[in-house]
């Protein structure tokens, strides 16, 4: 059977050929027993599986891809709970830009395949982060080819194009903000500011390769970008419809509605205050989001443990001879506050 992006199977050569890839103790207290964590892993993989063939994350040996095990990007993107919730948060933020949303509205089947865009976003981030260099560059080339076909007019008559460097910057910034904020909320709070800046500097290279310009390369620049772009944002009928579709998604897993509400609420809890205000999110909704965030903080170590062995970060470490556990260690970690 053809392997897909999220069939995170633990291959024999990973554990036998690379002793550094042996099971490790990841941060946090597991509240779910191991059999339930394995069951959770299988269900999550089923949700995220894509039909398109995935690149080989195991070969060639030693190929670090676009980043490599010494980068902050490998650390941030290794945490599955943070990335999942961060991806949902980024989708919510992206609905606020009318021109960016127009491309989704006109050129995607978001109603019929709500999970599709999230899958595609995660697959692109996974490939550009952990795949060897050749397939990572191919993923960038495919995105650029798709963007050439995405253009049109927004409801107010303004032209839009997915190749617009400013819109590409907006999409990148929503994702960078959400992934970094998600990691600091659900994995490790005490990421040094210099490391946060380094993460933004590293990931800017992918945004620039896709066509973005003026990409923020520090937390200060990222916050300044959002301050500058806020006059362009709207929470309109299209925004509400896209979010309504997202809020009604049915996940093919047990307790689908509860799981959906948990992840969406935890994602909304990451949104900046100005976005929550623009969306008109009520005090009750914000309290509910924070409650979901609290539950996810308890469950995150179990999810992290379930999705680790055989996952893409794990396989990339095996390919490069790196120690997987190092992805969850930070300078001065003994003084920090792991979630």
- Give residue limits of the domains in the chain: 71-306
pLDDT in tens, 255-276: 556 778 899 999 999 999 999 9
pLDDT at 12 over 80: no
pLDDT at 197 over 80: yes
Strands of the chain (E only): list them.
Answer: 151-153, 159-161
Q: Determine if the pTM surpasses 0.75.
A: yes
Check residue 4 and report its DSSP letter: B
Report pLDDT for 275.
Answer: 98
Higher pLDDT, 32 or 304: 304
Residues 6+ apart with CB under 8 A from 251: 47, 115, 259, 260
Report pLDDT for 309.
Answer: 76
Report pLDDT for 331.
Answer: 73
H or E element: which one contains 180? helix 165-186
What percentage of the chain has pLDDT greater than the value 90? 64
The stretches of 49-164 forming alpha helices (DSSP H) are 72-77, 80-94, 98-107, 114-130, 133-147
Q: Is 237 exposed, middle or buried (0-12, 13-18, 19+ CB in 10 A)?
A: exposed
Total length of the chain: 339
H or E element: which one contains 332? none
Residue (of 292, 313, 301) closest to 339 by Cα position? 301
Report the C-alpha gap between 268 and 266 in whole angstroms: 6
* Residues 326 and 74: beta-carbon distance below 8 Å: no
Higher pLDDT, 315 or 248: 315
Report the C-alpha gap between 90 and 290 in whole angstroms: 17
Cα 118 to its chain centre, rounded Å, is 9
Report pLDDT for 15.
Answer: 41
Reported as a pLDDT band with limits 50, 70 and 90, residue 252 is low
């Amino acid at each position: 059977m053809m392997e897909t992006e999220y069939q995170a199977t633990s291959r024999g050569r990973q554990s036998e050929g690379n002793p550094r890839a042996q099971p490790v103790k990841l941060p946090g207290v597991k509240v779910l027993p191991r059999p339930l964590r394995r069951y959770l892993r299988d269900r999550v993989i089923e949700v995220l599986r894509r039909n398109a063939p995935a690149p080989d994350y195991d070969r060639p040996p030693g190929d670090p891809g676009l980043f490599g095990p010494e980068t902050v990007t490998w650390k941030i993107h290794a945490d599955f709970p943070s990335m999942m919730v961060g991806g949902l948060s980024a989708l919510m933020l992206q609905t606020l830009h009318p021109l960016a949303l127009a491309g989704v509205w006109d050129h995607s089947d978001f109603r019929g395949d709500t999970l599709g865009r999230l899958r595609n976003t995660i697959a692109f981030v996974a490939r550009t982060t952990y795949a060897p260099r050749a397939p990572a560059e191919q993923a960038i080339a495919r995105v650029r080819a798709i963007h050439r076909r995405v253009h049109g007019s927004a409801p107010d008559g303004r032209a839009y194009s997915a190749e617009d460097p400013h819109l590409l910057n907006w999409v990148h910034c929503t994702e960078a903000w959400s992934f970094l904020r998600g990691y600091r909320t659900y994995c490790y709070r005490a990421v040094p500011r210099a490391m946060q800046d380094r993460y933004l500097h590293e990931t800017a290279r992918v945004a620039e390769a896709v066509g973005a310009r003026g990409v923020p390369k520090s937390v200060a620049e990222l916050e300044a970008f959002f301050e500058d772009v806020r006059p362009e944002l709207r929470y309109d009928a299209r925004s509400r419809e896209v979010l309504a579709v997202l809020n009604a998604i049915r996940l093919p897993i047990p307790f689908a509605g509860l799981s959906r509400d948990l992840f969406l609420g935890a994602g909304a809890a990451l949104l900046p205050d100005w976005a929550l205000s623009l969306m008109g999110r009520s005090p009750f909704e914000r309290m509910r989001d924070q409650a979901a965030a609290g539950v996810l903080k308890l469950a995150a170590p179990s999810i992290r443990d379930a999705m680790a062995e055989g996952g893409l970060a794990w396989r990339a470490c095996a390919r490069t001879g790196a120690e997987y556990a190092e992805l969850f260690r930070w300078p001065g970690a003994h003084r920090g506050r792991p979630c």
